[in-house]
Structure 1
């Protein structure tokens, strides 16, 4: 079990708790994607945001994030205005 916390600067902050790293990545993708869609950015900028900031952080959850949490360590990754932190649940 681990907790994922994320912040999208000036837009949104939230958390999720579970034990499936792929599900965590999907939740992050859905939640941050929804915030980006509602932000008023034009479609090209939204695509750039998703590719440049969201994708690298999301993709890190299932590999580097999982490896860190499974060894009892936290993991964090920031890209532009997005910060994600994974911590083992006590």
Structure 2
């Protein structure tokens, strides 16, 4: 079991718990992406935000995060105003 938490600085904190890191990455991408899409930012700013902040954190969770969690370790990554952390849950 994995607990994934994330924060958008001064905006929002959320979490997800489940068994599959890939599913957690999809949830993170969908929920944060929806918030960014609804933020009122210009479309080019939304694209920049997704490319430079969200995508690197999601990719890190899918790769380094999956490996760390498989070893029973925690993982965290941040890009700009986005911070995400995942830990094994006993």
Same fold (TM over 0.5): yes
Q: Match of 1:41?
A: 41
Cα RMSD over matched residues?
A: 0.8
Aligned partner of residue 24 in structure 1, secondary structure: helix
Gaps of 5+ in 1: none
Q: How many residues align structurally?
A: 90
Gaps of 5+ in 2: none
Most deviating of 78-87 and 32-41 = 32-41
Q: For residues 14-52 of structure 1, what are the alpha-carbon distances to aligned partners after superposition, in whole Å with 9 as ceiling and x for unaligned?
A: 000011111111101110011101111110000000000
- Structure 1 stretches of 4+ moved >3 Å: none
Shift of 1:78: 0.3
Q: Provide TM-score, normalisation by structure 1.
A: 0.96
Q: For residues 45-90 of structure 1, what are the alpha-carbon distances to aligned partners after superposition, in whole Å with 9 as ceiling and x for unaligned?
A: 0000000000000011121001111111110000000000000101
Aligned partner of residue 13 in structure 2, secondary structure: strand
